[in-house]
Amino acid sequence: MEITRKHTCTGHRAAVYALAPGRDARHVCSAGGDGWIVEWDLDDPETGKVVANVETQVFSLCAFPHQHLVVAGNMNGGVHWIDLAHPDKTRNIQHHKKGVYDIRASGGWLYTAGGDGILTRWSLQDARAKDSFHLSNRALRTIAISETRNEIAVGASDGAIYFLEADTLTLKNTLHGAHGHSVFALAYTPTQQYLLSGGRDAMLRVWNLENAHARVSEQPAHWYTINHIVFSPDGRHFATASRDRTIKIWDTGTFQLLQVLDTIRDGGHINSVNRLLWLPDCLISGSDDRSLILWQER
């Protein structure tokens, strides 16, 4: 496998922190420090369209194309419910006391991870907070959901990974000291046997969920913080994004490095890579340099 840069999307006025699918398979949404929710046409990516403006930094994004709905989390703990057909009717529910660092959806529920250490479950039907669980005295940074295991994994700034039963939000297990510093990225492998984690310590770790959460692999994957981990649609590869400005492509079966996408050799980002979205025909990255890059397999 070899991945090369296809196009660079510019237009944001501040760092890009969040990516999500758009209205269909040929559109994606981005958001960041300028408060803009921007939609990009993958077949004509030269210019993005601002579909909403929440007027404060957006750290997280979750899209529901069939409902014309986007949910964004801001730096102050607010959760914006944006009706793309009527963006003027956007609701900002001030819920968390600090930033909303991740948003994930499963079934009819939405989950938000707050800088106040609270995980909240929301009803998608009526946009209301239903349950909140105070997991940590430090910020919650990332959420991963396994519907197969009926499980939610949450990474926190205290270096721990928390495992909850999805139906009841009962705490099942805690991996204290999973990383030396904040856990910024979590992803279940396609088989759901392993959980991958990345942190401020730049380490990539693999945990065997079927063997008492034993650590089966670890390696210094980047020079600086690992911000995000995503799997390819076919599950054969995964990518990591880092503050060291690189994206790295890995083999899912062996957890071995296959390719590094960097600034000079590949025309990559010139600042921290914050977020990734891997679609069937391209990998998309968002960065502190205010741009998105579309990458394709050659």
Tokens of 22: 């758009």
List of the chain residues with pLDDT < 50: none
Residue 266 host element (H or E): helix 263-266
Please tell me the predicted confidence (pLDDT) of residue 59. Answer: 98
Please tell me the predicted confidence (pLDDT) of residue 298. Answer: 82
Measure the CA–CA gap between 63 and 55, rounded to whole angstroms. 19
Please tell me the predicted confidence (pLDDT) of residue 23. Answer: 87
Residue 248 host element (H or E): strand 247-251
143's CB contacts (< 8 A; 6+ apart) are 102, 103, 104, 111, 113, 119, 152, 153, 154, 155, 186
Residue identified by tokens 């279940």 is 188
Measure the CA–CA gap between 126 and 148, rounded to whole angstroms. 26
> Of 100, 131, 138, which Cα lies nearest the Cα of 117?
138
Residue-wise pLDDT for 160-212, tens only, equals 999 999 999 999 999 999 999 899 999 999 999 999 999 999 999 999 999 99
Number of Cβ within 10 Å of residue 45's Cβ equals 19
Domains by residue range for the chain, with CATH: 99-214 (2.130.10.10)
Please tell me the predicted confidence (pLDDT) of residue 65. Answer: 87
**pTM, to two decimals:** 0.96
Please tell me the predicted confidence (pLDDT) of residue 40. Answer: 97
Please tell me the predicted confidence (pLDDT) of residue 89. Answer: 80
227, 220 Cβ separation under 8 angstroms: no
Q: In the chain, count H helices and then E strands.
A: 1, 28
Measure the CA–CA gap between 175 and 206, rounded to whole angstroms. 12
